[in-house]
Chains A and B, each alone.
Chain A
């Protein structure tokens, strides 16, 4: 038997149910279709329904005569249409009468084969086409929706956006991206089922909104939702609806959402690109809980173009050594006179066309795409070589701290790689202080703790950077393998003007003492800050009060001073 090829070479024999009371007609259809399909026969409507009910999935198509004893073709069509399972089977009506066609169509028939059965090859082609369309439809309905939320998956969503534009060419549309802030924490702390429930609630609200506005909605990955709707006049109301959908599940539901809107999209842009813009706007307010909505505008477009430029130029910049490492001194202030104790390596990008670029511009960007690892490795190498160079020149060892991003920690050979860098530069791991931001511990949990333990076993010293702005629990802090707590700059900034902030500082000092770790404060600019930090018991100070970050040759001045006593 020849089988129907359903694309990708997938061939299988389909079964066609021929419902026809005349034996001659049955035999002729069997003859026409038998080379390509398995034909089963029912002599009347009742028999057909019985066969269909027994095993509906077996049949790819029903060929239905209208005039039959017992139960006629119209009755069969009505029964098939009513049944949720049967109605997925396409029905072609066999008829010699034009008049019958309208009614059959209304009752759900997809096509007609005229009697007598002229042009058998046309009959075969119609059968084949009908089965193909029906199976494609089944495949589409099985894959177009996200199982968890029932919203469109990304590919289908983008396809439907295209169709939507075709249907409504003159209606201004917004591309919208919605994200749930720190969703992974919801999953981690309340379990996956709870996280799924939150996603479903959000999806339901988005779906209802999209339906009302004659738009469409999609879930593209974990907690990212996209919508394409006529221009939204009051986006706050949409946020209100989303908040309302989860308010019984989560505290502070208003802080849970961020939404990026690319308003009145330019249709000259590719469809995926329009949503990139919405996502870009959405990501621009990541971490800013005061602002749930961001619009993609010209300024943002410039920013995005600038970012794109930076991303494109990284590789070349590394080859051409455009990244330069500056060093900011750290002073131990426990004694009477501040004493140079180490330095922090800070990277700058001396871009040939864009000028000197600060790390707070490019590091967060490169953290998003993993490029930060290449830059960090470059800095580690430079810093290690600098420690060695100073030791060779001055016979002193001045440890340098370097930043280790959470992306670095995910690199499979990170541990060996950074050890290798220290060894080949001719220094020991103890000469490199590794600054790992607090949020890396809280976001990734257990694996990081194990890795940091391994780093310390190899002799590296580990500083917890930005301490105070992450979400460490006290319980977690006690189990963390760290040598130094580095206070977040936000806590230091106002200690001389805010009693409350100073109170916080004392609290954190208590924690540090409990953990028996050294405390470093960065961002110190004023003498009053220094005095208060000293009073609170901070060990090491870094900041403009002593010096801004300097190129290595200028930094040497501090070493020479130290040597001079």
Chain B
């Protein structure tokens, strides 16, 4: 009975011209179902925040959107995820190219044990996006600039990336993702390993990136969701409970569970 009313509610808030959509998405780890019938639209050039208590499936859902779950054994997926109207689980879709178009930033900063320059240049190099060293230099500079890191590192581009502070590393990872000119950037709790000052910088950066990219961010911090996102989706126990304008979700949630979570009664 409750299930019927929920699905009626989640199907409703679709957006016009969505960049990505998920329809009836089910996901299983071996025999355990982790996602149930998720229907969600991601609006272009907006920040969509996925919130919910830990273990609710928000990260799992995020990893479905660029097929990172492919690298885990025993995962099966039912339903559709589309990018610009094309099913990304289609056999003809090349996962390597897909991940270039849908970039990802992870929970813990994970710079490669290379120089700062090589970290950013990694994507353009493997995808063959550049023809000359000058072009590559340019991409690296722009990407670092976009990630707000250029000024801090421009004198030590050839020093190892692992020498940067945590916040700088995370912004480097964002620069690394930006360098392949993705259309969508997925961020999996990008600030959970950072201190408040670094977090503020990254949040500021996310806000700036919005003008060029479609961003989906998983966060456990409701304040963060409220600060950076335009739309918010609330997950609970593998189900998408409610999605809508961030303001509406935080001020006037329609579902009791959402209300309970954002007022801190559980989660």
Partners in one complex: no
